[in-house]
Chains A and B, each alone.
Chain A
Amino acid sequence: MVLALILIAFAILAIWVVRVAGWRFALQRLGGSSLIIVLVTFATTWLLRQVPGDPCLTALGTGANQEAVDLCRLERGLDKNVFAQYWSWARDVLSGDLGFAFYKNRETLSNVLQARGPRSFWLFVYGQTIALLISVPLGIWSAYQANRVPRKIPVWLLPIFLVATLALAITGGWTLSAIIVLAVLVPLAIFYGLRGGPAGDALVNTSAFALLSIPVFVIGETFRYIFAIERDWYDLIGYRSWGDGVGAHLSSVWLPALVLGLSVTPVYLRLLRSDMIQNLQQDFVAVAKAKGMSNRHILFRHVLRPSTLTLLTVAGLNIAQIINGAIVVEFIYDYDGMGSYLIAAVARREFFPIQTLVALVAALFVFANTLIDVVYTTVDPRVSAGDDK
């Protein structure tokens, strides 16, 4: 079932690639992708065998005796060399058997994917959507403000503010003064930022930089505390599927998705901003302005499209980063997706499911990047996916 869905997705992509970029490009990509997947999975197979620990011993635990361990190894083909093991695994996967757990229950990876795959999928989709919904408008706004005439900041307020702060610190204590300084400075910064101009750009840029500096687990833990413990806005009850109702589904996923989205937002935002600033300085923008086009028209019709190429590239390359983030987010929110399964599988030396998952991630990576290559041609007709140059 899972394999069939993957093959269908690849077939649709292949047809589209052939139509847009031609047979040559499609075949090149197919060959390259296959080679990458074979290399990655074989390397994973070989590396896993080098890691200390025996999956059979781990699975049998305190119930292990030599006879049981030997039987387990024999049943799972672990007594053969690494090439034979790889070939056996690849043959099974290609015939639709994605592998099973070493543990006694012999849970199949197909079942795991059916149960957990949608969770990770939705987390990924919502996370990316949130990231793009925040980063694209803010990136555009920030880039536009960067090119505007700076607004004056009332520097004469600073000494007054410092005197007031000092007085507060002496009489009321440093904590109170720090709170008040923050309470005044932050709204002031936001106020001046929102007034636009380079101060607005600086505010967005600094905020993005600050967000970029915060590890995802810190955002996750903090938001969990704020929204789940302090305020009862999020229930720590795990994932709810669409079958449980739209409300239940969205309420179970919004916070993990927000955390995941925020973790990649600054990357997208800064990339889009810098690309747009560059493009705003191009001659065609001056021409468009000279023709009397509105700023909105210039920004959205002439500058945004060429500026999204880097964003698309990074969005594709960022898949691995998002998977890493998803693992952390799943852990914090007890969100049983593929990330937490992968971690547990690695810890338990579940050789075959790990190999299959790595192959799937590699395939996803190749799929997404091929897709993006083709999308380039739509975004910027000057680029041709099939053009080797």
Chain B
Amino acid sequence: MSTTKGSKLLLLRLLALLAAFSMLAAACGSSGGDEESTGGDDPEDEEVETGGDEEETGGDEETGGDEEETGGEEEAMADGPSMGGDLSVLVEAESDTWDIPGANCAVSCISVMNAVADNLTMINENNEVEPFLLESYEPNADFTEYTLVMREGITFHDGTPADGAAVQRSLQEMAKGLLQGQVLVDLVDGPDSIVLVDDMTVTVTFSVPFATFGRNLAGRTGWLIAPSFWDDPERAGALMVATGPFTMDEWSRDEQTVLSKNADYWRSDADGNQLPYLDSITFRPVPDVSTRRATMESGDADVNIDSFGENLDFWDNQWTGNVAPPPASRETTYLLLNNGAPPFDNPDFRRAIALCTDRDEYLAFRAPGNALANGPFAEGDLGFIDDPGFPAFDPAAGSALLDEIGRPEELIYGTTNVPSNLLTAELFAEQWATNCGLTVNIDQFDQSELITKAIGGAFQVFLWRNHGQAHPGLEYVWWHSRHASGLALNFGRIINEDMDALLQQTWATEDLGELDALGQDINRLFAENVHNIWLNTTEWRTPYAEGVHNVNGLTLPSGSKGLTGTAGRLTLEETWKG
């Protein structure tokens, strides 16, 4: 027995020795072969790294890749759409209700609604209002009265006619809503100002010029919703009934919203194919941005929306699928200052803080890949100016100004307890302390408190993201003094007569040139008074998987292209798989 055991041990030792020496021999004899696989710190490895950098620099080459993909997309477009298929879409939040008049309907909710409901009007790629569900849409000369004529032959998902009475009912319900009521606050006689003239015609009368009404009809206010939905006593939890390309079949809260093709949809494409192309869409709310990305990477979803800065590079350069072209209109990220309370009620203090803020450093560390913003309007939008005169970083001047007006005992920077936001807060706190000798305390709270504090004006400075609605007049509620007291949507409590006048003027014209000029004036006014500290435009990406086509593609009844994809909002009625 012992001999056998000893032999086994000897054999084992010999094998181990052999393995060790063969490793040694292999190591000595194959240095050339290792160059390919070694990721160490040899010069060769640096070259590999450099090569990697070149690849990154040539993100533009990757753009070339995108072009190829776009080429693929064009090929698919040329081949024509395929009918059928189920689309799985990831959105960032669940909707609390489809009862739109009082709902906080953000990007995820809008994306679902866009698939279920049609708007009375739409914006085309030239940023002009066009009728969509409506046959015609006519304002009077001073934009106080609108005549809306409904298109014939359209029915809701429940089979009832989408006629003038339905338009009247829908707009009246919107006017009564907590949120949409604020949009329609200037109706001359409340909901009674929405009058049914004949079977298909409705007039809407306002007490003041309201030239943005057509644009509001292209947004939440203008979704045409069926009377059966409005009549539902439990409508806050009910499924949406509208005229859109898909019907809402199932809403499992926080799990999925399932839509299926509306076989009686009123639209067809240029070749006469009945829209929509897809059989069904499943929207899945996945709040965690990394889980959404992982789900796309694993191939378990077809479309995603993402505005997380750290993912931009991934979608642009590493994602193997496609990314829908981003729209020109983008939201702006900025430091929202409370102009209605000390210390930011002092314009000099606001200016001093702007002078002490190194926005380039912020961009480098906290928003790489995003463009610096000097005003509320992104490049390509109405009102954009490259340099409206916003104070540049000048800590000496900022410090001198603070010496003159005095420093507050402390400055309170409010932020949610999201780690990335906290890092941003720390960066600004450090900048203001180091550059200008201010004492900055960071106040952390839950995400839900952010909106509460903003509405109530209980803050000094927040990091914020808003605007980018492609029209300065649509920003009215955020900046006009009429909305600056009590629980207010003018969160920054901006009270500025010039601003009010300019905003009022944006409601009195549809001329894009005039609107651009007014927007530029607003831009300069912001810079001059430093009502906010602008940081960067917010980039959204809409990545989608191989085999999915025409995400956010929309052809309007006139044949022109629709303006879609703003702030991540999805339009999927002309999307197909195949």
Contacts and interface: CB of A to CB of B under 8 A. Distances in A.
Contact of B447 (A62, A229, A333, A347): A347
B397 interface: no
Nearest to A173: B40
Interface string B274-291: 000000000010101011
A62 B448 contact: no
A289 B452 CA distance: 71
B288 A332 contact: yes
Nearest to B290: A221
24 contacts: A60-B102, A60-B178, A61-B104, A62-B179, A63-B177, A65-B178, A66-B486, A68-B178, A105-B96, A105-B236, A106-B237, A157-B13, A157-B20, A173-B39, A225-B294, A228-B294, A232-B298, A239-B255, A332-B288, A332-B291, A340-B254, A341-B254, A347-B446, A349-B448
Nearest to A332: B291
Given A64-B455, A346-B446, 4 more contacts: A104-B99, A171-B34, A175-B38, A228-B300
Contacts of A184: 19, 23
Interface stretch (B25-33, B65-73, B193-201, B544-552): B25-33
Residue in B12, B16, B27 with the greatest tally of chain A CB atoms within 10 Å: B27
A92 interface: no
A239 B286 CA distance: 13
A167 B447 contact: no
A61 B255 CA distance: 23
Nearest to A163: B24
Interface stretch (A49-57, A75-83, A317-325, A373-381): A49-57
Nearest to B491: A62
Contacts of B252: 115
Contacts of A341: 254
Interface string A106-117: 110000100110
Contacts of B487: 57, 64-66, 69
B250 interface: no
A293 interface: no
B451 A62 contact: yes
A154 interface: yes
Contacts of A331: 288, 291
Contacts of A177: 27
B489 interface: yes
A172 interface: yes
B75 interface: no
A228 B448 contact: no
A302 interface: no
A235 interface: yes
Nearest to A238: B255
B299 A104 contact: no
A176 interface: yes
Contacts of A163: 20, 24
Interface in B419-455: 445-449, 451-452, 455
A93 interface: no
Nearest to B27: A168
B297 interface: yes
B16 A154 contact: yes
Interface in A61-102: 61-66, 68-69
A57 B27 contact: no
A137 B38 CA distance: 41
A218 interface: no
Nearest to B448: A58
Question: For A54, A63, A107, A115, which residue has the most chain B Cβ atoms within 10 angstroms?
Answer: A63
B258 to A, nearest CB: 13
Contacts of A10: none
Interface in A151-187: 154, 156-157, 160-161, 163-164, 167-168, 171-177, 180, 184
A180 B99 CA distance: 62
Contact of A53 (B39, B45, B179, B445): B445
Interface string A217-246: 000010011001100101111110000000
Contacts of A156: 13
Interface residues of B, number: 62
A66 B45 CA distance: 64
B102 A236 contact: no
A285 B445 CA distance: 58
A260 B486 CA distance: 48
B103 A107 contact: no
Contact of A167 (B28, B39, B451): B28
B42 interface: yes
B253 interface: yes
A297 B452 CA distance: 66
Contact of A104 (B24, B34, B96, B291): B96
A29 interface: no
B456 interface: yes
Interface string B247-278: 00000111110000000000000000000000
A173 B34 contact: yes
Interface in B509-530: none
A103 interface: yes
A249 interface: no
B454 to A, nearest CB: 9
Nearest to A102: B96
B392 interface: no
A105 B255 CA distance: 16
Contacts of B297: 229
The 8 closest A-B pairs by CB, nearest first: A173-B40, A63-B178, A63-B179, A61-B104, A173-B38, A168-B27, A236-B295, A103-B96
Contacts of A333: 291
B298 A238 contact: no
A164 B23 contact: yes
A320 to B, nearest CB: 22
A221 B290 CA distance: 9
B97 A105 contact: yes
Contact of A176 (B17, B40, B88, B447): B40
Contact of B448 (A168, A176, A348): A348
Interface in A170-212: 171-177, 180, 184
B447 A52 contact: no
A115 B40 CA distance: 52
Contacts of A239: 255
Contacts of B236: 104-106
Contacts of B256: 238
A114 to B, nearest CB: 11
Contacts of B99: 104-105
A104 B16 contact: no
A241 to B, nearest CB: 11
A57 to B, nearest CB: 4
Contacts of B254: 116, 336, 340-341, 344
B47 interface: no
Contacts of B284: 237-238, 334
B467 to A, nearest CB: 14
B39 A175 contact: yes
Question: Which has the most chain A C-beta neighbours within 10 Å: B31, B179, B452?
Answer: B452
Nearest to B252: A115
A216 B7 CA distance: 47
B409 interface: no
Contacts of A174: 40-41
Given A103-B97, A235-B298, A238-B255, A63 B38 contact: no
B359 to A, nearest CB: 27
Nearest to A101: B96
Contacts of A168: 23-24, 27
Given A53-B452, A238-B255, A332-B291, A176 B299 contact: no
A334 B288 contact: yes
A228 B21 CA distance: 40
B417 to A, nearest CB: 10
B37 interface: yes
B294 to A, nearest CB: 6
Interface string B76-94: 0000000000001000000
Nearest to A161: B20
Contact of B237 (A59, A107, A176, A346): A107
